[in-house]
Structure 1
Amino acid sequence: MDKFFLQQQVLQRLAEDLLQAEQAAREAHETATHEENIAENKYDTLGLEAAYLATGQSRRAEAIREAMADWRRFRPRPYDAGKGIELGSLVSLVDSDDQQQQIFLGPAGGSMKLVSGDLLVQVISSEAPLGRAMLGKCEGDEVSIQGAPIRQQFEVLRVL
């Protein structure tokens, strides 16, 4: 599995998300400033609500731009067993029900699912609970995270 290809998919998805956020911010701004939405009394809050929405969408767009910059600078390295799992590792995990999953550990802002061939790859950051738990682990090690009602346990099958 090609990490560079996965990185390009993340950047493409982030670019799509950015376009949507920018469009939503523009529409909310237009709604907030449209002459029909000028408040006639203190209970008329449509313009104010739209302004809050425009601000939120603008912040979302800026967060996506920052994530894109992080992903552009990101250079995944080959797996080094001496260092264990680190940012850029592509990890195959198996849970207690023998269900396998592929995890690509990347910079923040790229939490998404991608398709590579016939495999589904979950992209997470080292800030996510599973990402933190995997750092430094090697093939054959156990990884566990505490979910709301139960503790989930995984075995590291393979790392690239």
Structure 2
Amino acid sequence: MNKSVLVNQLISTLEAKLQATEDAMLAAHAAATDEQSVPETQYDTLGLEASYLALGQSKRLADLKGKLMGLRNFSPRNFTDDDEISAGALITFAQLDVKYFLCPFSSGEVLQDGGVIAISPDSPIGSEIQGLVAGDELKFPNQLNPREITKVE
């Protein structure tokens, strides 16, 4: 599988999230500064709540911009089944119809029409698979039997 296609899909997904977050931040900022948001009593907190929302959206926007910049410079290497899993690896597990793409600038995005899930090395699965090789097993949450890593690309 061509990893540059996966990276480009991630870039497109993050760009869409970035635009939606920017729109939400601007809407929250407008609500916070609107004359209708001026509190009439000490219990009227509409403007305050909108300002907190705008602050949260601005932090999310900064995070997405950082991920997008990192992703644009990310060039995943090719792995063999003998290589230890690290950032850039594409992992296949026995009896699972989905592959996992370990990317430091992702957070659970679904790619390739559901055939690939981009996960961060800091995610629960991402942290567990780093350092493993093909043939090793991993126990997924809510599954009784461990799954064997059948291929690392």
TM-score normalised per structure 2 = 0.91
Contact 2:80/2:152 (CA < 8 Å) preserved in 1?
no
1:106 equivalent in structure 2 = 103
CA deviations on 1:49-76 (whole Å, 9 max, x unpaired) are 1001000111111110111112112110
1:129 match? 124
Per the alignment, residue 150 of structure 2 pairs with 157
Write the mapping of 1:21-32 to structure 2, written as runs, cut at 5 A: 21-32=21-32
Structure 1 distance, partners of 2:148, 2:81, is 16
Amino acid at match of 1:159: V
Q: Closer, same or farther in 2 for the Cα pair 1:110/1:99, shift >3 Å?
A: closer
The reply to whether residue 142 of structure 1 matches residue 127 of structure 2 is no
Q: How many residues are treated as equivalent by the alignment?
A: 153
1:57-103 superposed Cα distances (whole Å, 9 cap, x missing partner):
11111110111112112110010445321110111112xxx333200
| Structure 1: tracts of 5 or more residues without a match | none
What's 1:19 paired with? Answer: 19
Paired AA for residue 122 in structure 2: E
2: CA distance, partners of 1:137 / 1:100: 20
Per the alignment, in what secondary structure is the counterpart of residue 98 of structure 2?
strand
Whole-Å separation in 1 of the counterparts to 2:16 and 2:143:
35
How far the C-alpha of 1:109 sits from its partner, in A, is 3.7
Shift of 1:155: 0.7
- TM-superposed CA distance for 1:28, in Å, is 0.5
Note the 1:81-100 alignment, pairs <5 A.
Answer: 81-94=81-94, 98-100=95-97
Aligned CA-pair RMSD: 1.8
- Segments of 5+ residues of structure 2 without an aligned counterpart are none
Look up the match of 2:112: 115
The answer to whether the Cα contact below 8 Å between 2:81 and 2:151 also exists between their aligned partners in 1 is no
Q: CA-to-partner distance for each residue in 1:20-55, whole Å, 9 max, x for gaps?
A: 000000000001101111111101111111001000
Task: Give aligned-pair identity as a percent.
Answer: 33
Q: Distance in 2 between matches of 1:44 and 1:110?
A: 36
Question: What is the SS of the residue equivalent to 1:127?
Answer: coil
